[in-house]
Structure 1
């Protein structure tokens, strides 16, 4: 019998949650076949069988948390898929029959022993130790065990057996309420503890006055929640705002979108403009492209830009590598690629690691203004918002309706001063409002 264990996934991943079993007991598998999907903090990964044979046993259920090295299944390398479940079922039933037979014999012996003890005079030392309340009680071992589990006094239970022997069903009946006489006895002898227990149960039931539904958080959602709180606790996060006139970008995009699509087979979006602007601003203000490691500031000489993508399971931030070396078409294709992977659950760990700065676009959902939270250990994140026409005073003092967007920069004040943050955001504004220079520089 070969054990299948949770393999080493990555340096930063030590545990996961079983999202779905891809096989069932009795299935034939070959070495390397995927047998389950494991949900980790970052991505879903498939665990493969490391031996060929028949799935003899699944040791974990869907939804169970497992760690690297845990045994999750067993493979019978000499087994056959056909009839494997039946044979294992027969073996299991035989074992159960043997256990039941042994338990029955043991129970009968104990019953006989108790009957003999009951025939002894009531003045025996054993009876004195048990107390007068238990002298006349005749119960099966299973009933005694059940009574201990439920905290019920056997002397208060009426047996339905003609011989007066208390059985497990009598104990269960007493636990549910039993006869009115039994309820009165129980309430009089255990009034205080039962009142306290009922009060506790009532408080749990009335936690909400109206219907609710409890949903277990996915591992990814738990990780997102934990890390967002950690960022706020461990960084000195501030946010600065500005607004951008999108007139020129929208006009340029309108002029070039058809030829761009025809040439590159992808649409020209706003994200490529902002990505180019971010790269240009990071080169001028390198502390926004850094991180803190101990007592050192690590300035990154590369520009791997994270793109926040919303999925059904939560927010993920895949990375567009070397954005400074890509043209507009390369950036648009990179963004489309990671977004598709994210929504189809095809992201690999490498797609999420190593970003130097992040862009998040809440505007696609209609957000007008927000304070984005840092994607630790990065020290800067740019938030984009909805575009709306607003009145703007022009240089010639005329008032025009212009398409405006609020932009927000959250930064870690431990290494980025307010002056740098404001200038960084203003530089992005300048490049977006004059996209022709941005195109030439790109």
Structure 2
């Protein structure tokens, strides 16, 4: 596997550490093609899977076409940076593909335009029930499901046991599972070693995720007003402000991106961070750090909530071959095909049956950190959910929250003043 692409795919999966058969007339998941005498062609777009996964995708396509000889799949792989604009242009010009790989945040924007097939109507209940409940709900807006979940990831904490021991901590007992425990580790490690015990990144949607895990509710029920200016929201702002101003977390937690976290962890400067999606990179780039890495469950707040990241499959309403498109989407995401994909890259399946495979339940004898990440990550899926649901004006809302908590952490405003700033900005954005 090419290292550059794997890192790119992993980041696509973190952003976001922040996406069944057809309808009743189209038969079962493994059914043969429709009875139409004319062969149909389905255009299928993916997000930056070539060349690393060319053999895998072409294999899935070949298997599908063999089972459905009257359906042909035309595959187009699009660079991740170009996909959003490309699909928007295609939809606006009435040339949308039949099946597309997207993430929930962007797919929800198309759903808002009524551009996507309603999967609650297109996929029979029997087939919908094959998917994890949290993964299926991650693709919903206003109670309507706009996509089929494909592959997933959950957060697992990585811990450098060597630093724990240097600080006089016991890796078997002192590894944190809550924010308050992480704060304690941060203090001890800094005092005893001068290194950082904890690196909570504030990149992308992570500020919002931290707040939800600490008990803050982002909006009211109908999503028209901010709802986080509460004791829980204030606690979140105060927590990260205290850590930052007392130099218990790196400056890069606020000023850098998620690459900063992995660079500092690989450099032996950080004891704990949420970065299990980088485990293969650590194994290749920093074998000594990898050897001393002990994966543990995700750090969370009083809610006990854990986050899930989703890549999904959508079917634009413009398709002239809806039944065939749904059939292919369900074949692509069935248990057998997902399990095979998960063995090629550190991701998780969205189908329950695939998770029953020993690959996700048994780490084997003398497991490596990679094995433990996979097992712990899979074990968390049932209790994981999309903490930040699809929202209108998402990028503006996310930036407004980041600007506010930055003002608090940098000492430009008190935590309460910064929280008030975020509330005002969110209410203005949500009223648009």
> TM-score, normalization: structure 2?
0.17
The structure whose residues are more often helix, as a share, is: 2
Instruction: Tell me which of the two structures has the higher relative contact order, counting C-alpha pairs closer than 8 angstroms and 6 or more residues apart.
Output: 2
The structure whose residues are more often strand, as a share, is: 1
